[in-house]
A and B are shown apart, each in its own frame.
Chain A
């Protein structure tokens, strides 16, 4: 009888040891009527419990995590036509004095289950330099706030962390890691201004397109 009790206690110790290190004597040991089965079998059952328990718990988590990673499998298709260029405005709409103005970029947009046609997908600053249009992204390369144009100061200013940019996008001062992102621009059919609109990752010293 004594041996059996010892055996019992030892078995509990090893069980608890697996889960929390070391166990004390159980509070209410059962009254044993027959001897405990061999320790090896118990060990195997405990292993199976842990194994199956982990396996079945992993099923819902696995399915959840798998679908949670869905965005990583999706690519940014961008807006506009096949070449990524979007018609933004005409040359006549850009101020002749070289001051920049904000223009909305209107294109088709896929937003999860919705596919919108002709909606604003962002904005650009356009200005004329010697009659040639130049385009800058309106988003600050630092952390993505919308950069303001300040006509009084003749510069761009990010209201979030006070970065300051020249009209050509170059850094005056502040924390931005790079100049404002310039975008490819083309004049088609003599007056149409087309911009290759794309977003860039913030925080890099060089523009890296968001894919």
Chain B
């Protein structure tokens, strides 16, 4: 062994190198405040290692980026751990950078002869921030996409060459493949390369000038090895433990829903350490033409000031000024970050923000389930676009919810599974009372669910009732006005038809209370005049009709019930034709030009819904007595595919993962 080492030493001089590395003199001995540089080096090492392994699973194109990251996170063994470590270490780096900078400034380590090394450090700080910025886009999720869009649009503000610069950065005028390939090359190639060069320079200069002792030097000098090394590795261990804690807490790192330029994302925010800049730009002095000051000039001047600190420090009170600047920055950035966070959860637009966050989470869960269960044929985004559960609800919210309701809301209710207690719910999603008491919660829905109009009380009681179960909070912001048409949740199910045929419910807001149909023959001549007086035998017949009519829909969710009740359904059809005599006003089985109510043949089936939505005034439906419903197909408000998505969604006919 010794002869091997002798040989190696003779050829490489490794002993001398190791000795120089380990026996660096530390004036005043080892101290905990010297660990920041080492922890940063360690985190950079972690990022290099995990980054290279992530690279093996990542694909930088707009059709594959999200898909590959989702694969790493959810399919690849240990991928969540790998991605989690990379993500959470990145979250610690700005903190460590700041601590390192503070220590350097407070100890006056920027002063002569260490100015150049100090500038190296400032450049390294900017490089790490650039790495964060470029890395944020790579998963190509809504959050990264929109945040990066904002960040790169700021480049536009650069005087003279802004637009050209932006084009170069994003690889064209639109965000797409080349934005990703360019960002990835920067993130995994150019910036890490520069980082290594600068770190070598930084460490070389650090060793050249030695450590700046923190005053007063009370203890005797010592070598770097082993006492300072010990403190360094303990600090690195602490960072590792904290990173792993976060990784285990969220099982990796969050991945939002795939980037979609056509879908608004009201929760576009930069990573938390850029929030102060984000908030800074909201200040009204930076409105309009002045924005370039907030986005470029002032931050640029601040970096310039940081770089000038070695010279400022030469003046009598220069050092005090420098330290003051660091603390002013820290206080200002901290306050702005707090304001940004606070505005998101409690500001006037917090509902929009929270809606964005919850909607994105819902879509992300959905698309992950679709990707796992059905596989991605083209892109994950197309999975979402073709998904009735996602798009049907959106289209309903946009086109139908001004009159109809879906379970009391506009179709976009967000479910928070296993929310637990109110406090847990609040902590988990950053929700505040504003969210519950504002217009985010639909009073109809709450009132119907709990029987009280007091929203707080309602939410509280709902939470208490479902402490251990799932709980749904809605982030819908649709109008609170009473619906003018029926609530279509469970349309054509037995429950829905049974309630429809209950006189008082027929004229309630859930069905036709808000429409002209409440004054029509269905209620007047049939429900009010006949059904109210039904005896037990007739009620039984009506129940069979309910089942027979519901069976016309061929709902996937009711397939087993329909099969089991085949006899009763057969009987129900006969009642429908004869005893209950629905065909007095409705067609059934064959066209009936005299019918004034909707055709009951295939009632609630996919085709029936599509035909109805396309043209409710068709002679099959309401040729004379349609109440305000637009002919969505005839007037080309919706395409056939879109109407199909709504129909499938209403019928709960879409992919659900096996639980």
Contacts and interface: CB of A to CB of B under 8 A. Distances in A.
Interface of A: 12, 15-16, 19-24, 26-34, 42, 45-46, 48-49, 52-53, 55-57, 59-61, 63-70, 73, 110, 112-117
A73 B507 CA distance: 60
A65 B18 CA distance: 28
A67 B78 contact: yes
Interface in B323-356: none
B76 A24 contact: no
Given A33-B220, A48-B233, A53-B229, 13 more contacts: A24-B19, A52-B233, A55-B237, A56-B233, A66-B81, A67-B77, A67-B79, A67-B82, A68-B53, A69-B78, A70-B79, A110-B375, A115-B377
Give the interface centre of B67, B82, B237, B374 by most chain A CB atoms within 10 Å: B82
Given A20-B14, A67-B77, A113-B68, A49 B226 contact: yes
B164 interface: no
Contact of A53 (B19, B81, B233, B375): B233
A26 B15 contact: no
Contact of A114 (B49, B57, B375): B375
Interface in B1-58: 1-2, 5-6, 9, 14-16, 18-20, 22-23, 25-26, 42, 45-46, 49-50, 52-53, 56-57
A32 to B, nearest CB: 6
Nearest to A25: B19
B233 A49 contact: yes
Contacts of A66: 77-78, 81-82
B551 to A, nearest CB: 32
Give me the 5 closest cross-chain CB pairs, A-B, nearest first. Answer: A115-B375, A33-B220, A64-B53, A66-B78, A30-B221
Given A15-B225, A21-B15, A112 B49 contact: no
A50 B20 CA distance: 18
Given A12-B23, A15-B225, A20 B18 contact: yes
A63 B219 CA distance: 41
Contact of A113 (B26, B64, B220): B64
Given A21-B6, A66-B81, A59 B240 contact: yes
B5 A31 contact: no
B244 interface: yes
B236 interface: yes
A112 B77 CA distance: 13
Q: Which of A22, A48, A64 has its CB near the most chain B CB atoms (within 10 A)?
A: A64
B222 A113 contact: no
Nearest to A112: B71
A69 B82 CA distance: 12
B223 interface: yes
B233 A31 contact: no
Given A32-B220, A59-B240, A63-B78, A45 B68 contact: no
Contacts of B374: 115
B78 A70 contact: yes
Given A52-B233, A63-B50, A67-B76, A31 B19 contact: no
Contacts of B236: 52-53, 56
Contacts of A48: 230, 233
A30 B237 contact: no
A94 B655 CA distance: 41
B19 A56 contact: no
A88 to B, nearest CB: 22
A15 B228 CA distance: 14
| Main secondary structure on A side of the interface with B | helix
B371 interface: yes
A113 B50 contact: no
Interface in B280-330: none
A28 B23 contact: yes
B82 A56 contact: no
Nearest to B1: A21
B265 to A, nearest CB: 23
B70 interface: yes
B213 to A, nearest CB: 12
Nearest to B81: A63
B72 interface: yes
B18 A46 contact: no
Nearest to A73: B77
A66 B56 CA distance: 12
Contact of B52 (A21, A26, A45, A64): A64
Given A30-B223, A49-B229, A66-B77, A114 B67 contact: yes
B20 to A, nearest CB: 7
Nearest to B69: A113
Contacts of A52: 233-234, 236-237
Contacts of B46: 59-60
B532 to A, nearest CB: 55
B105 interface: no
Most chain B CB within 10 A, of A33, A49, A110, is at: A49
A65 B29 CA distance: 38
10 contacts: A12-B223, A16-B22, A21-B1, A24-B19, A56-B42, A56-B236, A56-B240, A60-B45, A64-B50, A66-B78
A69 B67 CA distance: 20
B376 interface: yes
Interface string B71-104: 1100111110110010000000000000000000
A79 to B, nearest CB: 14
B226 A27 contact: no
B227 interface: yes
Contacts of A31: 220-221
Contacts of A59: 46, 85, 240, 244
A42 B222 CA distance: 13
A109 to B, nearest CB: 10
Contacts of A115: 374-377
A67 B18 contact: no
Contacts of A15: 22, 225-226
A68 B50 CA distance: 11
A95 B7 CA distance: 71
Specify which of B67, B85, B226 lies most central, judged by the most chain A CB atoms within 10 Å of its CB. B226
Nearest to B243: A59
A52 B375 CA distance: 42
A87 B50 CA distance: 44
B85 A45 contact: no
B49 A28 contact: no
Contacts of A63: 50, 53, 78, 81-82, 85
A167 to B, nearest CB: 38
B237 A56 contact: yes
Contacts of B50: 60, 63-64
Contact of B376 (A27, A56, A69, A114): A114
Contact of A20 (B9, B219, B234, B240): B9
A59 B240 CA distance: 8
Contact of B377 (A42, A73, A112, A116): A116
Contacts of A12: 23, 223
Determine which residue in B1, B2, B78, B81 has the highest number of CB atoms from chain A within 10 A of its CB, and name it.
B78
Contacts of B237: 52, 55-56
B223 A16 contact: no
B545 to A, nearest CB: 43
Contacts of B230: 45, 48-49
Interface string B213-253: 00000011111011101100110110010001000000000
Given A24-B19, A45-B230, A110-B375, A34 B220 contact: yes
